[in-house]
Structure 1
Amino acid sequence: MDSEVYRRKLPHIQPLFGTFFVTYWLHNSLPVLIKQQLREEYSIEKQRLQKSDAYSITVNDELNRRYFGQFDALLDLCTYCPDYLSNTAVAQIIADSLHFWDGNRIDLIAYCIMPNHVHAVFTLISESTDAGKGNTLKKLMHSIKSFSAHEANKALKLNGEFWEEETYDRLVRDNDELRRIVKYILSNPVKANLCSDWKSWKWTYLKPEYDEFS
């Protein structure tokens, strides 16, 4: 499969088309020292596993999931960090920036807007269609983040960085994994004690065709 490879501080290998689980977060959502510590722990553990006879794609996937789970839990717990997405007008801007591309560059399956980060899962529309020409995950996320950052800063009367540059993304390999990811996204505000039922969280969305995954 052709792939586009690029790196920020979180490593990704991106197939050009497919279904992706993505997470992006506000600038300065976590203290630099905490992020550095988490990255160092991940790097050390990955190097250890790569030298082991037990190393495999499955083992690597499990490490990535564990690393992301720790990172996401820290985002939920970071009560002293920016929470601009708690602002109703800003949250609406973020939601609109995702829905804008639905049916055009993506098939938007689900998302959840948390106080300082966003989880979403969607399928990139194939390059074989007019809408999909030149459509890559990197370009899509740049469009979503740059537009929403500009509008959110305007609404909040702020300047400067809004989103962290890096984005976590994971290729969804099959329907079982998609089901798990959808459940993870929908349960996020419940686990963070923001609501008792995901359906009562205004900024959670699930496309009706995927109701069985909830």
Structure 2
Amino acid sequence: MPTSKNAYRLRIGRHSEFGRLYLLTTITQQRRPIFNNFQLGRLVVDQFRQAHEDGIVISKAWVVMPDHFHWLIELQNKTLGELMCRIKSRSSVNINRLTKTHERVWRKGYYDRVLRQEDDVKAAARYIIQNPIRAQLATRIGDYPLWDACWI
């Protein structure tokens, strides 16, 4: 992952297409494992659900790991930049309110990967929800609390 001073490079050549499927990933500032706290992780999940309910995305799968998240979405009516700014800023405000701090929660920038028709969307979703198992945070998918997928 590039350093914060190079985070702008993640945006070079990036554009958003409505109706496309994207795999989004972002990490916490200094990779702090703040989402080891389930309650703080739920604040991020709340923002995923709100974006879905507001018609900005169709959420396909997600996992909130201790220091990052993966989110598979179908983009509906905002750009990726607008979506990620919304998720990161609103979750930051709620996290800082709950923890009574004023710390930066997220590192600048994010990764996105468009999934093309030939890509296996369910394979991407499996990759996402199996993250806790690969990280040895759980032995079975259902044992980890901060994930969901529309197929399960």
| TM-score, normalised via structure 1 length | 0.63
Match of 1:118 in 2: 69
Point out where structure 2 has 5 or more consecutive residues left out of the alignment. 1-6
Q: How does 1:121-160 map to 2 (within 5 A)?
A: 121-125=72-76, 132=77, 135-160=78-103
C-alpha separation between the residues in 1 aligned to 2:132 and 2:118? Answer: 23
Greater C-alpha radius of gyration = 1
Task: Write out per-residue CA displacement over residues 61-93 of structure 1, whole angstroms, 9 at most, x where no aligned residue.
Answer: xxxxxxxxxxxxxxxxxxxxx211111211110
Say if 1:85 and 1:91, in contact at 8 Å, map to a contact too.
Answer: yes
Point out where structure 1 has 5 or more consecutive residues left out of the alignment. 1-6, 30-81, 126-131
| TM-score, normalised via structure 2 length | 0.87
CA RMSD across the alignment: 1.6
The amino acid that maps onto 1:96 is D
C-alpha separation between the residues in 2 aligned to 1:108 and 1:160? Answer: 28
The amino acid that maps onto 1:20 is Y
Q: Report sequence identity in percent.
A: 23
The amino acid that maps onto 2:15 is Q
What is the CA-CA distance between 1:12 and the residue it aligns to?
A: 5.1
- Matched position secondary structure for 1:162: coil
C-alpha separation between the residues in 2 aligned to 1:152 and 1:180? Answer: 31
**Number of aligned positions between the proteins:** 143
1:181 equivalent in alignment to 2:99: no
The amino acid that maps onto 2:72 is V
What is the CA-CA distance between 1:176 and the residue it aligns to?
A: 3.6
Say if 1:98 and 1:108, in contact at 8 Å, map to a contact too.
Answer: yes
The amino acid that maps onto 2:37 is N
The amino acid that maps onto 2:16 is P
Divergent runs of 4+, >6 A: none
